Structure 1
Amino acid sequence: MQCPPIRGYGYNGRHGFQSRRGHCFRHRYMDAFFASIPPRTPSKRSPLPRPSLVNSIHNGASLRSVDHRNGFPENLPRNPSSKWKSDPTRYSKLSGMVKPPTIERNLECTLEELCYGCMKKVMITRDVLTLYGQIIQEDEILSVKVNPGWKKGTKVTFEGMGNESPGAYAADVTFVIAEKRHSLFRRVGDDLELTVEIPLVKALTGCSFPIPLLGGGTMNLEIDVIIGPGYQRVIKGQGMANKKEPGSRGNLNVSFLVNFPKDLTNEQRTAAVSVLGDSG
């Protein structure tokens, strides 16, 4: 039986495939022929994805807008390890994931913010792992609610909002409250301390002057006694907020610094001696 000349190999019914020279060859099963073809090896320039990397990415990851500085498009899926986790361990035998050390940053607050409370927004830049195994940088704004009465050293932790890396949970970010130095007041526990300079003549004869308060405003303070070394006035309820007792505040302790004259004339010295005498 003569096979029609076909370029390359042709199929001739029950005689199977035939070469251009007319020599026919047959395969009992078509799969046997295709199985004899060696598989295609991947190109070195386009390697197949590693199973360990593919399996570590969640198919339903959320989409986020990312930085273009590294040439990656927007809305790349994120690693699900960035989600908040309750009580994460340093190493999990079940998942083989490790927990990186917590990243700590100071969060400076004024005495006014710590007394009355506030909401502070902090922008951080962190590494994010995409679905394709690339690490890109992402800016994120975290909102920290500062409660009235917080003190320096108070810590606020955002779980899973730190840097991401392959084979690990996302790191935690902890903000440590730090107090900004105030120009007038100094905090001691729930109390505030204020030092007021006063001239010698007013310290001896009494006076009335305004006292500044935290958060603005003043209150008038009457002094009708001689102000000596160590004299202090306590103004109740004008200190810092007490976080254990909402609505209550500490005291404002006012100390006095008496300014003595740097020089006196002979007449002033004589007058001072005649007035004070041996009063002590």
Structure 2
Amino acid sequence: MGGDYYEILELNRNATDADIKKAYRRLALKFHPASNREPGSNERFRQLGEAYDVLSDLRKKATYDKFGDSGLKGGIPLELAIGGAWSSKYAYHDNPEKTFKDFFGSSNPFSDFYITDLPLQFGGLNPEENKIKDDPIERDLYLSLDDIYHGCIKKSKISRKVMNDDGCTSSIRDKILTVTVKPGWKDGTRITFPKEGDQGPNNIAADMVFIVREKPHPLFERQDNDLIYHKEISLEMALTGFAVDVETLDGRIIKIPVNEIVHPSYKKVVPGEGMPLPHNPSQKGDLIFTFDILFPEKLSAESKSLIKQALRD
């Protein structure tokens, strides 16, 4: 072959098995004939296959490290073959494509790197441009109205596959994603963490997307940037006036007088007491009061007479 196996893989002699796999993966993709048309790339691809074939095998590697290329290919006496060293003559099968396919575990290792039938160009593969990205992973993020009014920090733990240093195997690891909730966010707001899904040798990791889901509030109903407050009142209150005390989401008690006659479609609007506007939290929507009028189930004759007389005036 000529040349040092470690130099061919651009490694030093302290390289680990993971380093060897990672280096072969990178260089074999770079110099594969399907992606590299430069002069000498075919020979370099063959050299990479032989270097990996030796250094990825513990017995061959042990012989090469101790006795060099001549010991590996010329064979060594059995009495010197200690520590599992190779004791017979080594010869590469001269099929770097087989080494490549065995490494990637596919009869068509480049299938995942093609979007069309067009060959790869310009001397190499750009994985981020040619790999297929996984579909987004969506999770609901349940928030109270108070969380959205004030803004808050929410943390979520995810478990995902992460590629190991060898570029081939993966392991499961946990990660904490932090969502900074902005005042005024609306139900359905999407927060995207790019490429936080499972990693793999032949894919681009999916985006992790959190979708805001607004939890019901005991007092208020949200409509866009407004807050709706429902209150039951008597017919007497509807006709004669009253005041409503309500605690706002920021903890204030406000008293709202209602001096108008409350009819079925009546609404009392208090400007600036609703939800913060998402793009300008210093401004707020309105607080809108709606009323359910409770009518008496029965009236005495005297009461009816008095009501008729009052309504005639």
TM-score by length of 1: 0.63
For residue 147 of structure 2, the aligned residue among 113, 118, 131 is 113
Structure 1 contact 234–251 (Cα < 8 Å) conserved: yes
2-side partners of 1:214 and 1:175: how far apart? 24
Question: In structure 1, the residue corresponding to 2:75 is in which secondary structure?
Answer: helix
Question: In structure 2, the residue corresponding to 1:247 is in which secondary structure?
Answer: strand
2-side partners of 1:262 and 1:215: how far apart? 39
1:173 corresponds to: 208
Structure 2 contact 258–268 (Cα < 8 Å) conserved: no
Equivalent position amino acid for 2:299 in 1: L
Equivalent position amino acid for 2:88 in 1: I
Unmatched tracts of structure 2, length 5 or more: 1-69, 77-86, 93-98, 106-114
Q: For residue 267 of structure 1, report the CA deviation from its aligned partner.
A: 4.1
1:37 corresponds to: 88
Question: In structure 1, the residue corresponding to 2:239 is in which secondary structure?
Answer: helix
Structure 1 contact 124–139 (Cα < 8 Å) conserved: yes
2-side partners of 1:102 and 1:115: how far apart? 28
2:254 corresponds to: 219
Q: For residue 103 of structure 1, report the CA deviation from its aligned partner.
A: 0.9
CA RMSD of aligned residues (A): 3.3
Q: For residue 197 of structure 1, report the CA deviation from its aligned partner.
A: 1.0
Q: Which has the higher helix share?
A: 2
Q: Closer, same or farther in 2 for the Cα pair 1:264/1:94, shift >3 Å?
A: same
1:9 corresponds to: none
Q: Closer, same or farther in 2 for the Cα pair 1:266/1:161, shift >3 Å?
A: same
2:159 corresponds to: 125
2-side partners of 1:119 and 1:33: how far apart? 67
Superposed counterparts of 1:128-207, under 5 Å:
128-131=162-165, 133-207=168-242
Q: For residue 154 of structure 1, report the CA deviation from its aligned partner.
A: 1.8
2:14 corresponds to: none
Structure 1 contact 239–249 (Cα < 8 Å) conserved: yes
Q: Closer, same or farther in 2 for the Cα pair 1:114/1:38, shift >3 Å?
A: same
Equivalent position amino acid for 2:229 in 1: L
- Equivalent residues, number: 208
Provide Cα deviations, 1:226-252, integer angstroms capped at 9, x if missing partner.
222222111111011112334111111
1-side partners of 2:159 and 2:299: how far apart? 63
Identity score, percent: 32
Q: For residue 265 of structure 1, report the CA deviation from its aligned partner.
A: 3.6
Unmatched tracts of structure 1, length 5 or more: 1-28, 42-47, 54-89
Asked if 1:208 is matched to 2:240, the reply is: no
Structure 2 contact 150–183 (Cα < 8 Å) conserved: yes
Q: For residue 142 of structure 1, report the CA deviation from its aligned partner.
A: 0.6
Equivalent position amino acid for 1:262 in 2: E
Q: Closer, same or farther in 2 for the Cα pair 1:33/1:128, shift >3 Å?
A: closer
